[in-house]
Structure 1
Amino acid sequence: MGIKDEHPRKNANIVRTGAELARAAQLDRDLAEQLIERARREGVNLVGEGGLLSGLVKLVLEGALEAEMTEHLGYEKGDAAGAGSGNSRNGTSRKTVLTDVGPVELDIPRDRAGSFTPAVVPKHSRRVQGFDAAILSLYAKGLTTGEIQAHLAEIYDVDVSRDLISRATDKVSEELDAWRNRPLDSLYAVVMIDAIVVKIRDGAVANRPVYVAVGINLDGERDVLGMWVGTGGEGAKTWMTWLAELKNRGVQDVLIACCDGLKGLPESIGNIWPMADIQLCVVHMVRASLKYASTKHWAQIAKELRTVYTAPTADAAEARFAEFEDVWGAKYPALVAVWRRSWEHFVMFLRFPPEIRKIVYTTNMIESLNSRFRQATRRRGHFPDENSALKVLYLVIRDRQPNRPNATGRTRNWKQAINTLAGYYGDRVTDHQ
Structure 2
Amino acid sequence: MPSSIQPWSMEVTENDKKKKRYPKTANSFPEPIDEYLREIAKAAAGKPLSESLKADGPLKQMIGRFVELAYEAEMDEHLGYERNERVEEEEGGVKRRKNTRNGSYPKTLKTSHGATTVRVPRDRAASFEPQIVPKFAGITDEVEARIVSMYARGMTTRDINEHVHEMYGIETNPMFVSRVVERLEPELKVWRNRPLEPLYPIVFIDALHLKVRHSYGVRPTATYQICGYNESGHLEILGLYIAPEEHGSSESASFWHQVLLELEGRGVKDLLIVCADGLKGLEQAVGAVYPKARFQPCVVHLARNSFNVVSYKDRKALAKSLRAIYQATTSENAEIAFAALQNDWGHRYPGVVEQWEKNLVRLASLWSYGKDLRKLVYTTNPIENVHRQLRKVTKSRGAMPNVDSAKRLLTLVAMRINQKEQNKSRPRTDWRKIVCELHIHFGDRLPQEWGLRFLDH
Find out whether 1:190 has 2:202 as its counterpart.
Answer: yes
Letter in 2 for 1:419: C
Q: Go from structure 1 to structure 2 and tell me whether the alpha carbon gap of 1:39 and 1:295 turns closer, same or farther (over 3 Å shift).
A: farther
Q: TM-score, normalised by structure 1?
A: 0.78
Q: Go from structure 1 to structure 2 and tell me whether the alpha carbon gap of 1:90 and 1:415 turns closer, same or farther (over 3 Å shift).
A: farther
Aligned to 2:436, what secondary structure does the other structure show?
helix
Distance 1:276 1:137 in 2: 38
Following TM superposition, by how much is the alpha carbon of 1:62 offset from its aligned partner in structure 2, in angstroms? 5.4
Distance 1:40 1:322 in 2: 83
> Aligned match of 2:55 in 45, 49, 54?
49
Q: Go from structure 1 to structure 2 and tell me whether the alpha carbon gap of 1:111 and 1:267 turns closer, same or farther (over 3 Å shift).
A: closer
Counterpart in the other structure of 1:291:
308
Larger radius of gyration: 2
Question: Within 5 Å, which residues of 2 pair with 1:30-179?
Answer: 38=44, 41=47, 44-45=50-51, 49-50=55-56, 54=60, 57-58=63-64, 61=67, 94-108=106-120, 117-179=129-191
Find out whether 1:242 has 2:252 as its counterpart.
Answer: no
Following TM superposition, by how much is the alpha carbon of 1:45 offset from its aligned partner in structure 2, in angstroms? 4.5
Question: Within 5 Å, which residues of 2 pair with 1:305-324?
Answer: 305-324=322-341
Find out whether 1:229 has 2:256 as its counterpart.
Answer: no
Distance 1:315 1:361 in 2: 18
Q: Are the aligned partners of 1:307 and 1:320 in contact in 2 as well (CA < 8 Å)?
A: yes
Q: Are the aligned partners of 1:135 and 1:148 in contact in 2 as well (CA < 8 Å)?
A: yes
> Aligned match of 1:398 in 415, 432, 436?
415
Letter in 2 for 1:41: K
Distance 1:398 1:47 in 2: 35
Aligned to 2:275, what secondary structure does the other structure show?
strand
Question: Within 5 Å, which residues of 2 pair with 1:305-384?
Answer: 305-384=322-401
Following TM superposition, by how much is the alpha carbon of 1:190 offset from its aligned partner in structure 2, in angstroms? 0.9
Distance 1:254 1:429 in 2: 10
| Per-residue CA distance 1:63-110 (angstroms, 9 max, x = gap) | 7657756776889x99xxxx9898999997653211233212335567
Give unmatched runs, 5+ long, in structure 2: 1-20, 28-36, 91-96, 451-457
| Per-residue CA distance 1:168-207 (angstroms, 9 max, x = gap) | 2222333333233222221111110122221112222222
Counterpart in the other structure of 1:388:
405
Distance 2:202 2:61 in 1: 54
Q: Are the aligned partners of 2:195 and 2:267 in contact in 1 as well (CA < 8 Å)?
A: yes
Letter in 1 for 2:369: F
Aligned to 1:379, what secondary structure does the other structure show?
coil
Counterpart in the other structure of 2:278:
261
Q: Go from structure 1 to structure 2 and tell me whether the alpha carbon gap of 1:321 and 1:116 turns closer, same or farther (over 3 Å shift).
A: same
Following TM superposition, by how much is the alpha carbon of 1:338 offset from its aligned partner in structure 2, in angstroms? 3.2
Comparing 354-363 with 162-171, greater Cα deviation is found at 162-171
Distance 1:294 1:373 in 2: 32
| Per-residue CA distance 1:143-172 (angstroms, 9 max, x = gap) | 444443333333322222234433222223
* Percentage of identical aligned residues: 36
Q: Are the aligned partners of 1:48 and 1:158 in contact in 2 as well (CA < 8 Å)?
A: no
Give the count of matched residue pairs.
404
Q: Are the aligned partners of 1:399 and 1:405 in contact in 2 as well (CA < 8 Å)?
A: no
Distance 2:119 2:75 in 1: 13
Q: TM-score, normalised by structure 2?
A: 0.75
Letter in 1 for 2:47: R
Following TM superposition, by how much is the alpha carbon of 1:317 offset from its aligned partner in structure 2, in angstroms? 1.0
Counterpart in the other structure of 2:228:
215
Counterpart in the other structure of 1:6:
none
Counterpart in the other structure of 2:18:
none
Q: Are the aligned partners of 2:44 and 2:52 in contact in 1 as well (CA < 8 Å)?
A: no
Letter in 2 for 1:396: V
Distance 1:377 1:269 in 2: 29
Comparing 244-253 with 257-266, greater Cα deviation is found at 244-253
Following TM superposition, by how much is the alpha carbon of 1:247 offset from its aligned partner in structure 2, in angstroms? 1.3
Aligned to 2:283, what secondary structure does the other structure show?
helix
Q: Are the aligned partners of 1:39 and 1:46 in contact in 2 as well (CA < 8 Å)?
A: no
